[in-house]
């Protein structure tokens, strides 16, 4: 049947009514007849939209069972699910069922209801939509014009106006969105009903990478979950303004940079009394293979960049850098003077002149911007659950949302600390707790000196951190160290103390705690300790 030979019909049934009147009017201008469910039909009629047929006039039934059954009827689903065959045409005529060509539906906000502190089992059950997901899946199956996202309404009108080009591609895209929306809705319900026994995740690919971690791992890409739509720091919110597209490894490093940057910001925000600031200062972090090898905070952007680069220039070669301030051409030229070859720079803004300055041959230096980086604070931490594939399934855990508070009542202090050492301990914590454990991190005057990551013994972490700092010719006297868990023996403290380190932030919980504290006091090292169960900083196992 030629779609232009008869008037087409649109079914509109939405929970959120914003914009539905204008959409219905635009559809009528394109020749659609409108049928609608009770609440939506009433909204349209009260707004003056003429010739709207209520679903009950099609089915012969009013909404029943407290509005649980409205559209679930052969007169509706026959019009949606009928194929364009002679047999189905005959049945439609026999039962006097009109074809439906467009379905616009949104679903009851189940996830919002579950999240309400005052919600009850009864209120959640009543907010569980049945008709909406069923309509969407039926329309998607028949490849009708299926709209589940209000943002697609105008797209559909514009597409209709220009003659429906690339119809199959466009319709398949809408059907995919509908199936995804219904899938996530069902997953939300199953997660709630099972009290977390059932869980999972879905995503839409927004970037196709040339390959994964290695060239033989293809295909690979970045997928964004639907629940990240309102997160200003989700990776789809970062805009490329120069250089080549991100690789799989680049993308993983951006995620790790965000983890470290938000922890630095949260640590400073919660410990403002120690930093004596009202806002998070300038920061710059450089990572290689996910782990920070350069980081600094301060009140001068150029100084912060210089300290970050100086932390470990050898390791930073080919790394990614994230800052919370705009990159001007002056700063781009300053970076170039240090001959530090970055694989990418991420900032709230990068000026056009700076982009040209930093571009390298073949567009290797990636440049990303996201204005949200300029206002990081304790609310910037990612609170969504973390998934990790394991053979046969996945591991699930809460995200890394702990933030050290040096005023916590369980915090033990052994020895005296300068204001700078306390500030440095927070920066060291933020870096170390977002680096692959076991980790020992050394900071001095707001600058990362050495990050000994991924070690099987704590003393090895201490040795690696001091070795890296010495290789970069840093002065460790009066520096501060962070250990992401307790010292099982005094040897790690001894390794740090012999380089001149005078302050350590760590956790307690070892049977040797008293011996470790006593040895630190003998060596003139002050210690901050908080119970391991509260503050262990393991990451990236």
Helices vs strands, H then E, count in the chain: 21, 21
Domain 404-535 falls under CATH 3.40.140.20 = yes
Query: What's the confidence (pLDDT) of residue 5?
Result: 47
Is the four-CA dihedral 410, 416, 422, 425 of positive or negative sign? negative
Q: Would you call 194 exposed, middle or buried from its count of C-beta atoms within 10 A (0-12, 13-18, 19+)?
A: exposed
One fold for 232-380 and 404-535: yes
Nearest to 447, CA basis, from 463, 428, 465: 428
CB atoms closer than 10 angstroms to residue 399: 12
Determine the Cα angle at 379 with ends 374 and 384, to 5°. Answer: 115
Residue pLDDT, tens place only, 10-36: 999 998 899 999 999 999 999 999 999
Nearest to 304, CA basis, from 287, 280, 328, 323: 323
| Strand spans (E) along 352-472 | 366-369, 386-390, 393-397, 412-414, 440-444, 447-452
For residues 112-141, one letter each, b for 16 or more C-beta atoms within 10 angstroms of the residue's C-beta and e for the rest, the string is: ebbeeeeeeeeebeebbbebbbbbbbbbbe
Query: What's the confidence (pLDDT) of residue 3?
Result: 44
Residues linked to residue 394 through DSSP beta bridges, in sequence order: 389
DSSP 8-state symbol, 343:
S
Query: What's the confidence (pLDDT) of residue 363?
Result: 56
Give the distance from CA 476 to its chain's centroid: 36
Using alpha carbons, list the distances in angstroms from residue 524 to 306, 318, 320, 463, 521. 31, 39, 37, 19, 5
Quick check: 45 and 12 in contact, CB under 8 A? no
Domain coordinates of the chain in residue numbers? 8-193, 232-380, 404-535
- CA 257, CA 279: separation in Å to the nearest integer? 20
DSSP 8-state symbol, 289:
T
Nearest to 8, CA basis, from 27, 33, 37, 39: 33
- CA 363, CA 367: separation in Å to the nearest integer? 10
Alpha carbons within 13 A on the beta-carbon side of 341: 7
- CA 338, CA 124: separation in Å to the nearest integer? 59
- CA 212, CA 249: separation in Å to the nearest integer? 7
Quick check: 533 and 506 in contact, CB under 8 A? no
Query: What's the confidence (pLDDT) of residue 339?
Result: 65
Q: Give the position of tokens 């403290």.
A: 493
Quick check: 516 and 490 in contact, CB under 8 A? yes
| Strand spans (E) along 7-154 | 8-13, 32-36, 52-54, 102-105, 145-147
- CA 322, CA 304: separation in Å to the nearest integer? 12
Residue pLDDT, tens place only, 65-120: 877 888 888 989 999 999 888 999 898 889 888 999 999 999 999 999 999 999 99
Taking the domain 8-193, which CATH number applies?
Answer: 3.40.50.1380
Counting as low any pLDDT under 50, the low residues of the chain are 1-5, 361-362
Domain 232-380 falls under CATH 3.40.50.1000 = no
- CA 11, CA 178: separation in Å to the nearest integer? 15
Q: What is the model's pTM?
A: 0.90
Query: What's the confidence (pLDDT) of residue 336?
Result: 84
């Amino acid at each position: 049947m030629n779609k232009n030979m008869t008037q087409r019909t649109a079914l509109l049934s939405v929970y959120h009514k914003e914009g539905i009147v204008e959409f219905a009017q635009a559809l009528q201008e394109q020749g659609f007849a409108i049928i609608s469910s009770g609440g939506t039909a009433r909204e349209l009629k009260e707004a003056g939209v003429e010739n709207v047929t209520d679903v009950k006039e099609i089915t012969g039934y009013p909404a029943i069972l407290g509005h649980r059954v409205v559209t679930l009827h052969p007169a509706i689903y026959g019009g949606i699910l009928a194929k364009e065959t002679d047999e189905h045409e005959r049945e439609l005529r026999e039962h006097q069922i009109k074809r439906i060509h467009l379905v616009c539906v949104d679903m009851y906000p189940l996830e919002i209801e579950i999240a309400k502190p005052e919600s009850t089992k009864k209120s959640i059950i009543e907010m569980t939509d049945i008709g909406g997901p069923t309509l969407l899946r039926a329309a998607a199956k028949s490849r009708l014009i299926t709209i589940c996202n209000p943002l697609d309404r105008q797209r559909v009108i514009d597409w209709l106006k220009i003659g429906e080009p690339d119809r199959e591609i466009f319709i398949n895209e809408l059907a995919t969105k509908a199936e995804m929306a219904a899938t996530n809705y069902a997953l939300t319900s199953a997660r709630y009903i099972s009290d977390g026994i059932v869980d999972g995740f879905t995503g839409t690919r927004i970037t196709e990478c040339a390959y994964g971690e290695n060239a033989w791992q293809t295909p690979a890409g970045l997928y964004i979950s639907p629940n990240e739509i309102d997160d200003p720091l989700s990776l789809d919110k970062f805009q490329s303004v120069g250089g080549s597209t991100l690789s799989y490894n680049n993308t993983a490093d951006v995620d790790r940079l965000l983890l470290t940057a938000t922890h630095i910001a949260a640590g400073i925000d919660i410990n403002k009394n120690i930093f004596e600031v009202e806002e998070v200062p300038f920061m710059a972090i450089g990572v290689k293979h996910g782990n920070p090898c350069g980081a600094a905070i301060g009140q001068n952007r150029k100084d912060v960049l210089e300290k970050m680069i100086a932390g470990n220039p050898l390791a930073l070669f080919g790394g990614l850098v994230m800052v919370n301030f705009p990159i001007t051409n002056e700063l781009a030229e300053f970076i170039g003077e240090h001959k530090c070859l970055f694989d990418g720079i991420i900032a709230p803004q990068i000026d056009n002149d700076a982009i040209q300055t930093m571009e390298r041959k073949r567009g290797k230096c990636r440049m990303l911007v996201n204005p949200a980086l300029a206002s990081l604070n304790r609310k910037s931490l990612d609170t969504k659950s973390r998934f990790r594939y394991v053979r046969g399934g996945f591991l699930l855990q809460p995200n890394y949302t702990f933030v050290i508070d040096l005023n916590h009542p369980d915090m033990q202090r052994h020895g005296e600390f300068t204001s700078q050492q306390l500030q440095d301990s927070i920066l060291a914590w933020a870096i170390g707790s977002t680096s692959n454990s076991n980790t020992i991190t050394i900071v001095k005057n707001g600058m990362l000196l050495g990050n000994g990551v991924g070690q099987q013994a704590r003393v090895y972490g201490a040795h690696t951190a001091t070795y890296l700092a010495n290789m970069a010719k840093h002065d460790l006297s009066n520096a501060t160290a962070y250990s992401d868990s307790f010292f099982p023996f005094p040897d790690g403290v001894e390794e740090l103390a012999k380089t001149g380190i005078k302050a350590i932030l760590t956790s307690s919980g070892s049977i040797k705690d008293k011996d470790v504290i006593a040895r630190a006091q003998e060596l003139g090292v002050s210690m901050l300790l908080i119970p391991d169960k509260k503050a262990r900083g393991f990451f990236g196992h």
